Amino acid sequence: MKKRKMILLAIDFLAMVFLIWFDQFTKNTAVLYLKGKPDIPLLKDVLVLQYLENRGAAFGMLQNQKLFFLFTETVILLVIGFVMLRLPADKKYNLMHGMIVLVASGAVGNMIDRVVQDYVVDFIYFVLIDFPIFNVADIYVTCASAMFVFAVLFYYKEEDFAFLSVKRKEQKTPGGGKE
């Protein structure tokens, strides 16, 4: 593997470690200061810190389906690993590295909660729009998803995803031979 690729993978790994740590830190802080205590309004009638033990997915769907979530998160992480290993080291793909790091960090952050305590700690609540309570890992995944839609629509072209193809075309060297 080339040096630039190794450096990018190391940066990705370190970024994931930091983001997962930050997610777990915020959840532990929420447990410490919010569990069994009154909500903490940050912006009156807009944003509140409120403790919730979520045994489901977004919007409370699929309650108590721990094995399903662990299986799904494991598959997502395997796909992420496959993509990261195949992702070209070109600067054009730096945005893709960032999106992948965010999704992986969010998945691992919530997976840790499910494995350790059978639920995910959520604590951020937008009262203004009555949005379901969420956490920092959810923010990572949501931001990465929005970035991905934008990137696919306006930045990357279809051929920029050719690196995902399992079959690789033989490349010709300048002398007309094959690599």
User: What pTM did the predictor assign?
Assistant: 0.82
> CA 12 → CA 70, 76, 77, 101, 112, distances in Å?
22, 16, 14, 6, 19
From 39, 122, 130, 160, the catalytic residue = 122
pLDDT tens sequence across 112-166:
998 899 899 999 999 988 888 999 999 999 999 999 999 999 988 888 888 888 6
From 39, 118, 138, 160, the catalytic residue = 138
Catalytic residue list contains 23: no
8 Å CB contact between 74 and 66: no
Grade residue 97 by pLDDT with cuts at 50, 70 and 90: very high
Catalytic residue list contains 138: yes
pLDDT tens sequence across 29-60:
999 999 999 999 999 889 999 999 988 766 56
